[in-house]
Structures are given as structure tokens and as C-alpha cells.
Amino acid sequence: MKTLEESFEAVLAGKKPQNLYEPISYILMQSGKRLRPQLVHFAVDLFDGDAEQAQLIAMAFEMLHNFTLIHDDIMDVAPIRRGKETVYKKWNSNIAILSGDALAIMAFQQLLKLDCDRELILEIAKVFAQTSLEICEGQQYDLDFETQSAVSIDEYVNMIRLKTAVMFAGCLKSGAIFAQADAESEQALYDFGIHLGIAFQLADDVLDVYADSPAFGKTIGGDIRDNKKTYLYLKALELAEPAQRKQLEELFAVPTVNFEEKYQTIRAIFDALQVKTITENKVRQYVEMAVADLDKVHVAEEKKSALKSLALKLIDRKK
Amino acid sequence: MKTLEESFEAVLAGKKPQNLYEPISYILMQSGKRLRPQLVHFAVDLFDGDAEQAQLIAMAFEMLHNFTLIHDDIMDVAPIRRGKETVYKKWNSNIAILSGDALAIMAFQQLLKLDCDRELILEIAKVFAQTSLEICEGQQYDLDFETQSAVSIDEYVNMIRLKTAVMFAGCLKSGAIFAQADAESEQALYDFGIHLGIAFQLADDVLDVYADSPAFGKTIGGDIRDNKKTYLYLKALELAEPAQRKQLEELFAVPTVNFEEKYQTIRAIFDALQVKTITENKVRQYVEMAVADLDKVHVAEEKKSALKSLALKLIDRKK
């Protein structure tokens, strides 16, 4: 069975024009964690589906994910991703727009190559399309929140559900559909993905402020530098004394001038209000919900243990 | 049967966030010529397909078309389209990128709602995806040619085939597939669309320089102002004396300063080399090829007359 990279190379071989397909090759060949393909395969394996064919679904979701990264990096004016220049920076934003578009279309094309019951292909395509659309909704909310004065915690969690979690959920559900799981298992895997995805992002919010710098792959405090209203910030606002609220709001209302000072000030407020612990508790809650979802996945316990381990590993990562 | 606009309104009703869906509503509700939906319906009617269901295919292609317009307007930094502000100008380029993305996904979703033989849906989806990808290729070539010193006429025709003609072809072929036409008719309609689409764009190239200004909906000479290497320009280069070639190349090598003078100079060279007539002859050639393609469409002659009329009307338009 070809590796994911070999499959990507095969679909891109000889395609022109170069300025459209080289950026696609560039981003796909960078090894991210390939988490989304893993999730597809996990779900397919749970129900003894065809692993080789399932790679088409894994490719589709990984391509969809990378399409969102290309476009997000234009919107965020981001120069670096995974330690390398973003497509937008290495080429330009016009090329990044078009390559992203082409990558999204190629993602769908992988699904259309599936050689199984047409009804299943249609079901998977519908999940895939809805997932794709919801990711756009999440990204739009994320952009909106940058300039929205008051963002509720419910709004924030909904945004990360759409922007991050529905992809995990869609990968798992699509894999289950392909492997002809029962409807309740499909829904349970979807819910598992949602709860895991939210936990993942909340854990990310904590790491951004509190990670051990060398182990963490990114700059500590990037969210604070970027005035990103994460769970920690929103929780802090909720619990803050008037004086603390004033500081939080004022510091987040202007572009960062003195990062080190801003980071220390905000972090001190976070520490005082114990929002790290509160958020970590929330992460644990979502992981517990995810593990509970697995009860409704109708396969033997030992088969589910790999998913349980993945869940715990994702949340406990230091980077 | 709902109108196209009523159907668009229905799929957009209540969708959030507003910043994602308002721009989509804005562009879809502007009445363009709705040419692509017309082509879908023409093909479906030729083979007595279900007109009501076919509207989903018509919607899909019209949405795909508008997605390409939203993104093209960002890349071209275009402030106006159809007499109104572009999405990119009315909102901003981040919103235009995302709304375009969402619109492309929603386009696919319309196809997935089709209630017919799943094999047909899969076939149509494949044509749709391939068409979408080829349009991206065409747009990339168009961008490349802006800075490519030598562009051959073959390269140019290939670019307009991808950028404009494959959409016409895809609309017709999808309609024919849906109405369960025979394979030869499907291919013939596809070829008709390609030849018609190329004729359409070449006629557009002529109009851009030579149209009667009031009747033409756009500024005369926009291609000259934008240094666009159209068929007229490339033909002129091919036939030019050294002195004329030098003028053509030098004037097109720099952003336009004095438009009126540039237009008159270029047009004078075009007139001297008779490229208007040469291009109009080429348009006629492609229309003849298109009409010949209809011979392989296996329906009664009188049913094909509407397509023949559309072909001639498109090419003869004054705006």
C-alpha cells in the first residue's frame, strides 16, 4: 500500500501549470502530524473496512486541511508554518488563493475515486462538504471575534467546534460510513471527534501561554501577542475584578508594543484567577465526554483502546 | 418551479455567520446573464430530462461561476463588476477569500441533493470537479501570461479554453448526463461548449477594442489599458513589421500612463494588420466547429435549433 506522500505525489505528477501545482506539492509534502488521516484510518479499522481504499478518504481530509491552512495564512498574514515559509510568503497571495482553491477541488476528487457502493460515496461526500463549509464558518467567526468587543464563552467554544473539531468528527464519521458501521456508532464517533477536537484546542490555548518553551514548537504567548480572545482570556474576563478587567481589555485593545511586559502582566492576571487550572479542568471534561462517546461505538473494548490512547496523548502533548 | 433566485434565497436562508453568507447572497442575487444555467437546461431539455431537478445542476454551475468571480476580483484588484462594487471592495479580501470558498463548497452540495441514479450523480460530480479544477488552471495561466514575455497563440487559446470554455462544456455535458443522453451526444455537447466558449472569448477580445461604446457594458480598450495579451495583440505581434512589434511590446511592457494615446496607437497597428477581421474569421471558424458538433447530438433538428440560435446570438452580441 502506498504511503500518503506517495499517493499525493502520484496525483500531482505532471500536472500543470507549475504555479498552480507546485505550492500544493510544497505544502502537502511537509510532514504535519497527519492526524486527520490517522483518524480516518482508526475509524475504518474499527469496523474492518478496506484500508487501501480508505486512503482516498484520508487524502481528501488531509488535502482539505491543507487548503484551509493555505488560505488561513493569507488571511492571518502569516510568514511561517511548521518552520517553513507559508505558500503566501514563498509565492504570493494570488497564487496562494488559486492553489488553495485547486487543492480543495482535488480533495473532493479523491472521494469520487472511491470504488464502493455509490450510496456510501454520496453519504461520505455530504459529510465532507458539510465539514468543509463548517470550517469556513468557524474561520469567519474567528476573524469576526478579532474586532467584536464582547465574545461569550459559548460563542468561542462554538467557533473552535467549527474551526477545528468538526474536521476530527468528519474524519471519524466518514471512515465509519465507508466501513459500513451502524448509524449509532457513526454518530458516536462524530461526537467523540467533536469533544476531542474542542479538548485539543482548549489544551492548545493553555500551552500557548504556559508551555515549556523548548518543547513547544511555537513562540510562547503568541495568542497574547496577537490579542487572541482564547478560553483563558475569556474566562479571566468573566472572573476578573474591575481593575483586572480594565487591564485585560486595555492591553488587548491595541497592537502589542512591549511583548515581554504584556505577556507577564496578562499571565499574572491569569495566574491570580487560576484560569490555567480552570481551562485544564474543562479540557478534562471534554476528554471525559469523548471517552463516554466511545461507549456507543459498537465494537470490542480492545479495539477502542487505540482511540482512547490517541485522545489522551493529544491532550497531554507538550508541543 | 422556483426561479433560480428563489432557490438561492432558500439555500441561504438563516445561514450564519453573516459575514460569510451576505457576500454570497450579494453576488448571487445580481443578475448576470445566467448563461451557464441556461446551458444546463438546454442540454437537459434536448433529452427530455427532469427540468425541476436539473435546477440543482444549474445552481451548482452558477455558484461555481460566481465563486471564480469573487476570487478573480481579489486577484485582479477589481473594484467594480456588473456596475456594482465587487465583494472584495465592498467587504475586504479576507471575507472575499472565505465567502468564495464557502460558495464553491455550496455549489458541490447542490449536486449532492440530486435524487436520481447514484451513478449519474457520481458522473456529474466528476465532470463538475474536473471543470472546476481546469478553471483554476486557466486562471493561473492567465496570471502567468501577465509576466511571461512570449505567449504563443496556442497557449492563449488553451488558456481561454480552460478559463471560459470548459465551464460552458461542463454545463452542457452535465445536463446531458443527467438526462441520460447517449455517450456520443454527451461528448458532442461538450465539444460544442468548448468551441462556443472559445468563440465567445475571442469575440469578447474584439469587442473590447472595437465595440460601440454606449452599447458595450464596459470601458472600451480595457484590455489595452491592462496590457492583456489577447488574440488581437498576439496576432498583431505575429504579423507585425519590426517597427510595429517594437511599439506593441514597448507599450505593453509598462503600466498605462496616457490611455487615450496608447489606445489609438495600438488600435492603429491592429487596423493596419487587419487583426479585427482575422480574429472575427477565427470566431466564425469556432462557431462553425460548434455547429458541426451538433451533428453528433442525436436529437431531432428542430430541438437543436435553440442551441444554434444561442451560439449565433452569443457571438453577435454588441455588449
Looking at residue A84, the DSSP 8-state letter turns out to be E
Instruction: Please report the pLDDT score of residue A215 as a whole number.
Output: 59
Residues B34, B4 contacting (CB under 8 angstroms)? yes
Q: Are B128 and B73 in contact (CB under 8 A)?
A: no
CB B167 within 8 A of CB B133: no
Q: What is the pLDDT of residue B213?
A: 66
Q: What is the C-alpha separation between A254 and A263, in angstroms, rounded?
A: 14
Using a CB–CB cutoff of 8 Å, tell me whether A38 touches chain B: no
Among A11, A16, A20, pick the best mutation site for testing chain B contact (most B Cβ within 10 A).
A20
Instruction: Please state, in angstroms and rounded to a whole number, the distance separating the CA atoms of residues A193 and B238.
Output: 60
The bridge status of strand A80-81 relative to strand B80-81 is: unpaired
Dihedral of CA atoms A191, A195, A201, A204 in degrees, nearest 10, equals: -140
Give how far Cα A175 sits from Cα of A39, A64, A316, B132, B227, Å: 8, 15, 25, 26, 50
C-alpha cell at B271: 487596423
What is the share, in percent, of chain B residues with pLDDT greater than 90? Answer: 88
Output DSSP code: residue A48.
T
- Asked whether A170 and A61 are in contact (CB, 8 A), the reply is yes
Task: Look at residue A39 and tell me whether its pLDDT is greater than 60.
Answer: yes
Above 80 in pLDDT, residue B207? yes
Sign of torsion over alpha carbons B90, B92, B93, B95: negative
Buried/exposed A254-265: b ≥16 CB within 10 Å, e otherwise? eebeeeeebbee
Any CB–CB contact under 8 A between B20 and chain A? yes
CB of B109 within 8 Å of a chain A CB? The answer is yes
Under an 8 A CB cutoff, do A98 and B71 touch? Answer: yes
pLDDT tier at B86, thresholds 50, 70, 90: very high
What value does the mean pLDDT take over residues B246-271?
A: 95
CB proximity A148 to B under 8 Å: no
CA-CA distances (angstroms) from residue A113 to A11, A57, A60, A94, A122? Answer: 12, 10, 11, 29, 12
- Report the gap between the CA of A195 and the closest CA in chain B (Å): 22
Across the interface, whether the CB atoms of B105 and A104 are under 8 A apart is answered yes
Rounded Cα distance, A38 and A43, in Å: 9
Burial level of A65, CB count in 10 A (0-12/13-18/19+)?
buried
Spatial distance between the Cα atoms of A196 and A288, rounded to a whole number of angstroms: 9
Average pLDDT (B86-107) is 97
Determine whether B301 is exposed, middle or buried from the number of CB atoms within 10 Å of its CB (0-12, 13-18, 19+). exposed
Q: Burial level of A215, CB count in 10 A (0-12/13-18/19+)?
A: exposed
Total Cβ atoms within 10 A of residue B42: 19
Confidence (pLDDT) at A82: 86
Please tell me the distance from the alpha carbon of residue A91 to that of residue B265, in angstroms, as a whole number: 35
| Mean pLDDT, rounded, for B211-240 | 87
Residue range B207-232: average pLDDT? 85
Place of cell 515559509: A85
**Residue A164: how many other CB atoms lie within 10 Å:** 20
pLDDT at A216: 60
Q: Given B102, B140, B143, which is nearest A136 (Cβ)?
A: B102
pLDDT at residue A244 in the model:
96
A to B CB pairs, distance under 8 Å:
112
DSSP A297: S
Cβ contacts of A121 on chain B, cutoff 8 Å: 118, 122
Backbone angles phi, psi at A81, to 5 degrees: -145, 135
Distance in angstroms (rounded) separating the CA atoms of residues A128 and A58: 11
Average pLDDT along chain A: 94
B19 half-sphere exposure, CB direction, 13 A CA radius: 21
pLDDT at B218: 67
d(CA A230, CA A204): 10
B319: pLDDT strictly greater than 50: no
Q: How far apart are CA B247 and CA B261, in angstroms?
A: 12
Residue B317 pLDDT more than 90?
no
Nearest to B71 among A17, A101, A129 (CB): A101
In the prediction, which pLDDT does B214 show?
A: 61
* H or E, element range at A241: none
Using CB atoms within 10 Å of the CB of residue A317, give its burial: 0 to 12 exposed, 13 to 18 middle, 19+ buried.
Answer: middle
Of A104, A112, A122, the CB nearest to B104: A104
Q: Which residues of A fall within a CB distance of 8 Å from B16?
A: 137
Do A119 and B118 count as a contact with CB atoms less than 8 A apart? Answer: yes
Kindly tell me if the per-residue pLDDT of A187 is higher than 90: yes
Which cell is A262 given? 504584556
Separation in Å, CA of B139 to nearest CA in chain A: 8
Tell me the mean pLDDT in the region A221-248: 96
Categorize the per-residue pLDDT at A126 as very low, low, confident or very high, splitting at 50, 70 and 90.
Answer: very high
- The torsion region of residue B83 among left (phi > 0), alpha (psi -120 to 50) and beta comes to left
A112 touches B at CB < 8 Å: yes
Q: pLDDT (tens digit, 9 = 90+) per residue, A200-233?
A: 999 999 999 998 766 565 678 999 999 999 999 9
CB of B95 less than 8 A from some CB of A = yes
CB contact under 8 A, A97 and B106: no
For every residue of A16-37, DSSP letters joined together read S-HHHHHHHHHHHTS----HHH
Residue A59 grid coordinates: 487524502
Q: CA-CA distances (angstroms) from residue A101 to A11, A85, A140, B277?
A: 16, 19, 17, 38
Q: How confident is the model at residue A319 (pLDDT cuts 50, 70, 90)?
A: very low
pLDDT, residue B33, reads 85
Enter the DSSP assignment of A80.
E
pTM for this one? 0.95
Whether pLDDT at B318 is above 60: no
Question: How large is the average pLDDT for residues B268-274?
Answer: 97
Cα separation, B159 vs B140, in Å, equals 9
What letters, b where the CB count within 10 A reaches 16 and e where it falls short, cover B273-295? bebbebbbebbeebbebbbebbe
Over residues B108-129, mean pLDDT: 97
At residue B195, the pLDDT reads 97
* Mean pLDDT of the residues in chain B: 94
